[in-house]
Each structure stands twice: as structure tokens, then as C-alpha cells.
């Protein structure tokens, strides 16, 4: 199963289109059980999501679960020994709370940390986790092609998690995906719905996005002509990118998960090119959106 389930929604009200808040524990149980029964084995999480106990309860007696977690972000501009110790302690406690002896992968939550002064110490510690059996693979989660290129100049990851969507096609149009595959890096795509922005009705979208109003209108017109839903368009687009090893999706309800799995199990057409890419990182990078 190419789909992996993101868990940020289980610990916080995540996503620009989220009007429901955090799903309650029974709904999370329904989501995880349905995902597992549909063949999903990869679950993407992080200490910052604060949902470890929920995951622990719902992973019990499920075989073959692969957890991807994150090395916590470090806010200081210079990586000090105390920062490393604090981040490691938080990470190990998170893994223990999930009642796991090891994870499938540990990625840096903020990969810019690796480019700070002494950032290589983080990488050395992550490699040591891999050598000790705490993780099978290590890597980083990135936002931009430039960030990825700078990291690849210094580090060789096992996995890279990166954003791909109808609006954010930068990793597709650059040579990034080919470059990663040439060095046998596993590629996980995230943000395929752009935090739900691509699924929203145009009239409900925040004025911050007025600069791409025409893109949104044209995209919705294109989708309507294809006689498919926005969710189908987003999924069919990424499913058409054959070099992706996993596509990480987050959901707020069992209904949303079922809609996704219906498309994944029976893709109705190929949509590997949709001409509505947006170049402005203030739009394609949710971390830059107003809070």
C-alpha cells in the first residue's frame, strides 16, 4: 500500500480547512483500524503531535506497523550539546510512550537544523540511533528544492519526505526526484491537499490567498470539466508520479479516510500533469502562512 497515514490531526486542530477540531479517541480508533484493514502499514508521526498514547493503544496487536517519527526541531541558531540532549530525550520518551523498541525511520522535523552551526551533530546522533537499532532508516523532511540540494551536499539520507501537490510541483519540474532515485533514496510525498486548501470552496478561502484566486478558480473549472472531485484530482495527480514510495495523507474523520481509499484502490484515470503550479513559496509552504 503506497498510502501512509499522517497523525498530526490526532493531537491538534491541524489544517487550514479543518472545521471539526481534533477527532475524539473513538474516531481515531476507527480511522486507524480502517486504514490498517485497507492495507496501510506506514504511520507518520512526531513528538510534537502529542498523540503517542493514542497510537500505542491502537497499534496493539497489529503486525507490520512501520512508524516514521521525527527528531525534534531545535529553535536556537547554534546547536549546543544541551539542545541535542533535550531533543534526544524527547524523541526517546515519545518512542517509549508508543511502546516501540524501534521505528522504521527517524527524520529531522526541521531539516534546516542540519544546516546550522554544529548541525552535523544531529545527523551523527541519528546515524547512531540507526546503528543501535532504534531506527531502520534516517532522513529529512524538507520544504523546498534549494533546502534539499543544500542538505544533499552534506548528507546521504535513506528517506526524504517532501511536499507534492497540484500547486507545489517544484520537486517534479526540477531534477530532484530523479536525483533522489539515482542514489536509492526512498521518497515520501506529503501535503498533497496543501492542508486542505485544494479541497475548499473558493468562497471559503482566506483573503491571504487572493494572489492565487485565478489559479483556484481555473483549477476548480478544470476539475469540474474532468467530472471528478477536488479530492480525486489531488490523489490522481500524485498517484501518477511513479517514483513516489509513499504518499502521506492526514484525515480528520473515518469518512475522509474512506473517500481517499476509494480513489486509491480504483484510480479512474491518470492525472500526472495538471497545469496550475504556483511558484510563490508564501503560498506553497504552509509554515509561512499567517497563524
Chain segment 228-282, per-residue pLDDT in tens: 999 999 999 999 999 999 999 999 999 999 999 999 988 777 787 788 899 899 9
Q: What is the C-alpha to C-alpha distance for residues 213 and 206, in angstroms, rounded to an integer? A: 10
pLDDT digits over 161-178, tens only? 999 999 999 999 998 999
- Residues 118-129: tens digit of each pLDDT: 999 999 999 999
Closest of 161, 92, 83, 76 to residue 122, by C-alpha: 83
Determine the average pLDDT of the residues in 180-186.
97
Q: Are 170 and 284 in contact (CB under 8 A)?
A: yes
Query: Contact 79/112 with Cβ under 8 angstroms?
Result: no
pLDDT tens string 11-46: 865 555 555 668 899 999 999 999 999 999 999 999
**DSSP codes, the chain:** --EEEE-GGGTS--STT--S-SPPHHHHHHHHHHHHHTT--EEE--GGG--HHHHHHHHTT-TT-EEEEEEPP--SSB--HHHHHHHHHHHHHHHHHTT-S-EEEEEESSGGGGGSBTTHHHHHHHHHHHHTTSEEEEEEE-S-HHHHHHHHTT---SEEEEE--SS--HHHHSSHHHHHHHTT-EEEEE-TTTTTGGGS-GGGS-GGGGGGHHHHHHHHHHHHHHT--HHHHHHHHHHT-TT-SEEEE--SSHHHHHHHHHHHHS--S-----S-----HHHH-GGGS--
How is residue 237 written as a grid cell?
495527480
Sketch the domain layout of the chain as residue ranges.
Answer: 3-288
pLDDT at site 174: 92
What pLDDT shows up at residue 13? 58
> What's residue 16's pLDDT?
58
Considering the domain 3-288, what is its CATH architecture? Alpha-Beta Barrel (3.20)
**Is the per-residue pLDDT at 220 higher than 70?**
yes
The string of pLDDT tens digits covering residues 203-215 is 888 899 999 999 9
Cβ pair 28, 41 in contact under 8 A? no
Percent of the chain at pLDDT above 90? 81
Q: In which band, very low, low, confident or very high, does the pLDDT at 51 lie, cut at 50, 70 and 90?
A: very high
pLDDT for residue 19: 59
Section 100-114 average pLDDT: 95
β-pairing, 3-6 vs 246-249, is parallel
Residue (of 66, 34, 265, 274) closest to 172 by Cα position: 274
Query: What's the confidence (pLDDT) of residue 204?
Result: 87
Amino acid at each position: 500500500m503506497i498510502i501512509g497515514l499522517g497523525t498530526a490531526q490526532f493531537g491538534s486542530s491541524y489544517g487550514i480547512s479543518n472545521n471539526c477540531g481534533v477527532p475524539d479517541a473513538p474516531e481515531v480508533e476507527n480511522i486507524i483500524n480502517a486504514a490498517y484493514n485497507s492495507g496501510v502499514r506506514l504511520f507518520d508521526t512526531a513528538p510534537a503531535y502529542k498523540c503517542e498514547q493514542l497510537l500505542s493503544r491502537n497499534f496493539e496487536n497489529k503486525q507490520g506497523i512501520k512508524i516514521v517519527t521525527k527528531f525534534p526541531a531545535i529553535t536556537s541558531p547554534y546547536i549546543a550539546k544541551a539542545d541535542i540532549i533535550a531533543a534526544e530525550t524527547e524523541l526517546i520518551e515519545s518512542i517509549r510512550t508508543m511502546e516501540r523498541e524501534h521505528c522504521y525511520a527517524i527524520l529531522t522535523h526541521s531539516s534546516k537544523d542540519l544546516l546550522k552551526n554544529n548541525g552535523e551533530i544531529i545527523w551523527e546522533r541519528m546515524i547512531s540511533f540507526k546503528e543501535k537499532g532504534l531506527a531502520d532508516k534516517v532522513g529529512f523532511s524538507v520544504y523546498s528544492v534549494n533546502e534539499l540540494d543544500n542538505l544533499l551536499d552534506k548528507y546521504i539520507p535513506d528517506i526524504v519526505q517532501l511536499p507534492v501537490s497540484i500547486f507545489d510541483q517544484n520537486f517534479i519540474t526540477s531534477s530532484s526526484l530523479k536525483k533522489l532515485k539515482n542514489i536509492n533514496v526512498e521518497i515520501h510525498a506529503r501535503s498533497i491537499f496543501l492542508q486542505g486548501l485544494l479541497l475548499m470552496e473558493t468562497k471559503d478561502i482566506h483573503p491571504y490567498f487572493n494572489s492565487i484566486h485565478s489559479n483556484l478558480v481555473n483549477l476548480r473549472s478544470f476539475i469540474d470539466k474532468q467530472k471528478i472531485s477536488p479530492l480525486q484530482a489531488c490523489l490522481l495527480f500524485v498517484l501518477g508520479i511513479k517514483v513516489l514510495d509513499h504518499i502521506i495523507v492526514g484525515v480528520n474523520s473515518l469518512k475522509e479516510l474512506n473517500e481517499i481509499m476509494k480513489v486509491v484502490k480504483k484510480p479512474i484515470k491518470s492525472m500526472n500533469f495538471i497545469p496550475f503550479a504556483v511558484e510563490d513559496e508564501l503560498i506553497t509552504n504552509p509554515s509561512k502562512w499567517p497563524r
